[in-house]
Amino acid sequence: MSALPLATAEACDANVHLILNGELRALQPIFQIYGRRQVFSGPIVTLKVFEDNVLIREFLEERGNGRVLVVDGGGSMRCAILGGNPVQQAQNNGWAGIVVNGCIRDVDEINGCDIGVRALGSHPMKANKKGFGERHAAVNIAGTRICDGEWLYADSDGILISRTEISI
């Protein structure tokens, strides 16, 4: 029998000491919820890109092993850096979720996938394909610094980042 998913509100209530010392942080509530999996968590892999999705696609072609891809897209609202095909591939490759500081497209297709996706919004225009970006770099998203290897917990109440895996 698998464990119940960690509720972010309960995690905050039970770990005040981690919040006070900065080991547990909440992202500002700027993200829209997409995908069929509203609750997801896992170790973080970070990526920094701007209006380019080549590196995103490359990451999602790898085995996810329950990880969460956190993409700092610079908050761009001028194009989508993630679409339905890579999300479908991420689902098939075992990624738990994807958080995008930017836009997505193919929303209906993404909403049919059994994966958690958070993004600022949707946009019909596609991204560039030049392959520029930084893998495994610390990123600053929604008021929080996020590092490769930290843990992400997401549900309908919000998104938490923890230096280590937590439980309540």
- Give the span between the Cα atoms of 137 and 128, in whole angstroms: 21
Residue 106 annotated as binding site? yes
Which amino acid would we find at residue 84? G
Inform me whether the pLDDT recorded for 168 exceeds 90.
no
Residue 83 annotated as binding site? yes
Residue 105 annotated as binding site? yes
The vertex-50 CA angle with 46 and 52, nearest 5°, equals 95
At 4 the pLDDT is: 54
Percent of the chain at pLDDT > 90 equals 95
Token code pair at residue 78: 């001028």
Inform me whether the pLDDT recorded for 142 exceeds 60.
yes
At 6 the pLDDT is: 82
Residue 135 DSSP SS3: strand
pLDDT digits (tens, 9 = 90+) for 29-62: 999 999 999 999 999 999 999 999 999 999 999 9
At 167 the pLDDT is: 80
pTM for this prediction: 0.95
Residue 155 annotated as binding site? no
